[in-house]
Structure 1
Amino acid sequence: MTENQHNNPSNSGQGDDESNGEMQEPGEMMLNHPLKEPWIQYGVISLGFWLLFSPSTLGYESVLMTWSDIVTGVVLIGLSAVTLLRENPWASYANSFVGLWLLMAPLVFHAPTAAAYLNDSLVGILVIMFTVIIMMRMEMDGATVPSGWSYNPSTAAQRAPLIALGFFGFFVSRYMAAYQLGHIDAVWDPFFGTGTAQILESRVSEAFPVSDSGLGAVAYAIEALMGFMGDKSRWRTMPWMVSFFGIVVIPLGFVQVLLVISQPLLVGTWCTLCLLSAFGMLWMISLTVDEVVAMMQLLKSRMSEGVSFWHAFWMGGHLSEEDAGLPEETRSERNRPAGMFWGVSLPWYLLGAMALGFWLMLSPTIFGTQGLLANSSHLVGALVVSFSVIATGEPARAVRFLNIPLGVWIVIAPWLFGAPMLVTANGVLVGVLLIGASIPQGQIRDEYGDWWPQYIT
């Protein structure tokens, strides 16, 4: 946003009501929206009654799960009644945390039956859909393309692959959680035999107080559901939501990736389903960065006009059509398939870096190396792939520089560990090629305002 827009009262977002000639801020509109959609509360009340009678009809075989559903059902009904009778929008949003508890309850109480796990998961997702997703699908006035950008990072097309990857991760993690909870007797792994089962039964997994795969399923469910939240202006109308989404996907998602790539070191084997979900998470990070950058630019802009960070974080801001995007270069707002991947590009050198990373991961098997050098190859190769995938996001292109110190390590590691000449030559060649592939920036197809990392060459 520009300074002229900030000084224009009609676009500043300050004021209490549109009838006074001023627009409500996005956060205020969303806070009061539950009072304009009372029908949603009847849906939540119905889910509350469903929970009350679920234990007796589905055979939970757990006293704790039974009482959890009964109490949760009463709470859902009570908070929805408060929303309807006392016209308190906070009560409706409080029910979203009850939905989150329903996702966690089968893990906390180690649900002994698949029916209990399925029922709480499904009802929890429906409660979150009713109390948050539907509530926050309202269309907001104003421009949708950030100032200085060539496209909108919050369109439905932009979010579609994130939602798809989130649900893929959810179903994969939930499948593995079913094995950890004892609902199924075997788990499928087409490439590593019993590798998945070994990892799910390992001391690393058992160190968690609840099923770690189940925790992953909860995280993926939240990511997929957050993909539906808000309209195509959510980068400026819901900074708090984009921030939480970015935290769940980027730092927490990368932690999950690190846990997966450390499996050969900690357990001694790989897990096909874990690798697939981790690879999907890397692309989620790449696809999420642009929206987070747009949100941070909005917060910076609002703070420069004297608005506190806390206020801007929760309330968002308006943007006039005159101050949005690059008028002559902005991509179409139409939700077409190509729009799913705006902000992501695949330069040949990043593809080459990914290939080098995969080769390094396979090299211990090909050359028969063992011990510390084999562990180093597995870990460093996976990190190279990870950084290269993340760097395909144009606002995150500077991440490619992290591959340079990894390339240096690849060159010197065989010398340090006393590897045979062929393995040493392979390490030197791969390291040098990786360093060379990590230097050029390549073409940046889109514009991202004043986001400085895109200009690093």
Structure 2
Amino acid sequence: MVGVMVIALTILIPGMPNMITYMKMGSVVPPGWSYNPSSWPQRWIMIVLAFFGWIVSRYLGTFQLGYTDFAADPFFGESTMKILNPNMSHSLPISDGAFGALAYTFEFLMGWMGSPSRWRTMPWMVTFFGILVIPLGLVHIFLVISQPIIVGEWCTFCLLAAAIMLPMIPLELDEVIAMGQHMVQAKKRGDNMWEVFWKGGKAFEKNTDDRTTELMEFPNKPVAVYKSSIWGMSVPWTLAVSTLLGIAVMFAPAVFGVEIQTMPSNIFHLSGSLIVVTSVICMGEVVRRGRYFNILLGLVLAVGPWVVDGSTLGLQITGLVVGLLVAGLSFPRGPKKEEYGLWDKYVK
């Protein structure tokens, strides 16, 4: 708690010196976009998710650091302690659970930073926030995915932490792309990139955000605020079904009595979890094209159980049917509800 307060009070709340002088008047909505990805409704979900992620990671970190001698798990018994206390964790110089709490601390506090036009006025902050959420988030999710394969156990709170992190990735991607579009346009104009990165540079146009429902109106207009929060994301039925199939695939080895940490079980656990991750991330329209990765995962799931030892006939048939179904569901793009300026041509 002391560490969190030190970070908040000395770095993130004061912000960069003279930051207010860099909040130049200009466009609130990125040129060519139909919404503002840095608006407060777009950010409040990130802030809430980061807070809950911080609570979960802090709980896991307290056990790894020895502040508690027991980590409860409502579904998998002592599996959580086995996962949090392997040789790999002891080989690291720091607790990965506590490091996750540190990352969520920055994510929570950085969600509050900047004006609703920070995609333009604070490219440096959007970049660092994007690094925390996207690549580090993917690493965190992959580590959770690998637990049944490497350790041979499941952990409820680890899965919860990954489930919290997963929707944050598509929710943040549009803001990063809006910032990147601003940098590209500034470069074409001949602006100094160093100055644009740290100070935002000059605006390309002046506009206002008349579409977003203000966050302060949440008590009176909760539905309108929620809709403003998820602009840029849509849920095609194809990706929704793929997500459900991925979850089912993760449980298939247990249903057919195949032991954990065998090759057939590993194929199902890894393929199923990656199908879920890919499907949820690609609900963000700016990265909808990434759904094609599910074609590869579906083919691995369809073919893999037939070429490794230890598979049952039921598992092989399940993998074939579900794998081909996931691959086929990856071809339709689904609806595109928003406009993304220069990035529109990549939404296919």
Counterpart mapping for 1:40-439 below 5 A: 118-132=1-15, 140-319=24-203, 321=205, 324=207, 331-332=211-212, 334-335=214-215, 336-370=225-259, 371-418=262-309, 419-439=311-331
Deviation string, structure 1 residues 115-140 (Cα, Å, up to 9, x no partner): xxx33333333333433289757864
CA 1:454 to 1:301, structure 2 compared with 1: closer, same or farther past 3 Å?
A: same
Question: Within 2, Cα distance between the matches of 1:214 and 1:448?
Answer: 37
Please give the alpha-carbon distance, in whole angstroms, between the structure 2 residues aligned to 1:124 and 1:266.
Answer: 34
Aligned residues: 335
User: 1:317/1:133 Cα in 2 relative to 1: closer, same or farther (>3 Å)?
Assistant: closer
Identical positions, percent? 44
Whole-Å Cα distance in 2 between the matches of residues 120 and 285 of structure 1?
Answer: 26
- Judge conservation of contact 2:57–2:97 (CA < 8 Å) in 1: yes
Compared CA separation, residues 137 and 413, structure 1 to 2 (3 A)? farther
2:63, 2:69 within 8 Å by CA — same for their partners in 1?
Answer: yes
Q: By how many angstroms is 1:197 displaced?
A: 0.8
In the TM superposition, residue 176 of structure 1 has moved relative to its aligned partner by 1.2
Give the whole-Å Cα distance in 2 for the aligned partners of 1:178 and 1:194.
16
What is the CA deviation profile of residues 58-113 of structure 1, one whole-angstrom value per residue up to 9, with x for unaligned ones? Answer: xxxxxxxxxxxxxxxxxxxxxxxxxxxxxxxxxxxxxxxxxxxxxxxxxxxxxxxx
Distance 1:394 1:440 in 2: 13
What is the distance in 2 between the residues matched to 1:280 and 1:267?
A: 22
Q: Does the CA contact (< 8 Å) of 1:358 and 1:382 recur in 2?
A: yes
Note the residue ranges of structure 2 that are not aligned, 5 or more in a row. 216-224
1:319, distance to aligned residue in structure 2 (A): 2.7
> 1:445 and 2:337 equivalent?
yes
**Separation of aligned partners in 1, 2:321 and 2:111:** 42
Using the TM superposition, give the Cα deviation of residue 364 of structure 1 relative to its aligned residue in structure 2, in angstroms: 0.6
SS at match of 1:411: helix
Contact persistence 1:303–1:312 (CA under 8 A): no
Cα displacement (A) at 1:183: 1.3
Structure 1: any 5+ residue segments left out of the alignment? 1-117
Q: Secondary structure at the match of 1:369?
A: coil
- The TM-score, its normalising length taken from structure 2, stands at 0.91
Q: Give the C-alpha shift of residue 187 in structure 1.
A: 1.3
After superposition, what is the alpha-carbon deviation per residue over 1:343-390, rounded to whole angstroms, capped at 9, x for unaligned? 111111111110111011000100112310101111111111001110
Give the structure with higher Rg (CA). 1
For 1:356 and 1:401, locate their aligned partners in 2 and report how far apart those are by CA, in whole Å.
16
Match of 2:221 in 1: none
Greater relative contact order structure (CA < 8 Å, 6+ sep)? 2
Aligned residue identity for 2:337: R
Give secondary structure in 2 for the equivalent of 1:185.
Answer: coil
How far off is 1:209 after superposition?
0.8
Deviation digits for residues 245-274 of structure 1, max 9, x if unmatched? 111111111011101100011111111111
How far, CA to CA, are the matches of 2:19 and 2:46 in structure 1?
Answer: 18
